[in-house]
Amino acid sequence: MRLEFCTDPARFLQAAAPLLAADPVLGSVIASVTERTAREVARGEDSWDEVGAPFERWWVAVRDEAGEVVSAAMRTAPFTPYPTFSVAMADEAAAALAAALHERGEFLGGANGALPGSRTLAEETARLWGGAVVVDKHTRLWEAISVEVPSAPEGRLRQATEADAELVLAWFRAFHSEADEQAGREPDPDAGEHNSLDSVLVSIREGIEWLWECPDGEVVHLTGAGLPAFGVSRIGPVFTPKEHRGRGIASHVVGELTRRGLAAGHRVCLFTDQANPTSNKIYADLGYRPVYDMAEHLVTAAGEV
Max CA distance (Å), the chain: 62
What is the reported pLDDT for 177? 81
List of the chain residues with pLDDT < 70: 179-195, 303-305
Per-residue pLDDT tens digits for 232-260: 999 999 999 999 999 999 999 999 999 99
Q: In DSSP terms, which residues pair with 135 in a beta bridge? A: 297
Per-residue pLDDT tens digits for 85-104: 999 999 999 999 999 999 99
Say if CB 75 and CB 51 are below 8 A apart.
no
DSSP letter for each residue of 103-132:
HTT----EEEEETTHHHHHHHHHHHHHT-E
DSSP letter for each residue of the chain:
-EEEEES-HHHHHHHHHHHHHHSTTTTHHHHHHHHHHHHHHHTT--GGGGT--SS--EEEEEE-TTS-EEEEEEE--SSTT--EEESS--HHHHHHHHHHHHHTT----EEEEETTHHHHHHHHHHHHHT-EEEEEEEEEEEEESS--PPPP-SSEEEE--GGGHHHHHHHHHHHHHHHHHHTTPPP-TT-SS--SHHHHHHHHHTT-EEEEE-TTS-EEEEEEEPPPBTTEEEEEEEE--GGG-SSSHHHHHHHHHHHHHHHTT-EEEEEEETT-HHHHHHHHHHTEEEEEEEEEEEEE-TT--
What is the reported pLDDT for 195? 67
What is the reported pLDDT for 191? 59
Q: Look at the alpha carbons of 189, 48, 120, 124 in this order and tell me if their dihedral is positive or negative.
A: negative
User: What's the alpha-carbon Rg for the chain, to the nearest Å?
Assistant: 19
CATH architecture of structural domain 156-286: 3-Layer(aba) Sandwich (3.40)
pTM, two decimal places: 0.92
Domain ranges of the chain: 2-138+295-300, 156-286
What is the reported pLDDT for 305? 46
- Residue from 139, 145, 115 nearest 284 by CA: 145
- Residue from 92, 156, 80, 141 nearest 120 by CA: 92
Say if CB 150 and CB 139 are below 8 A apart.
no
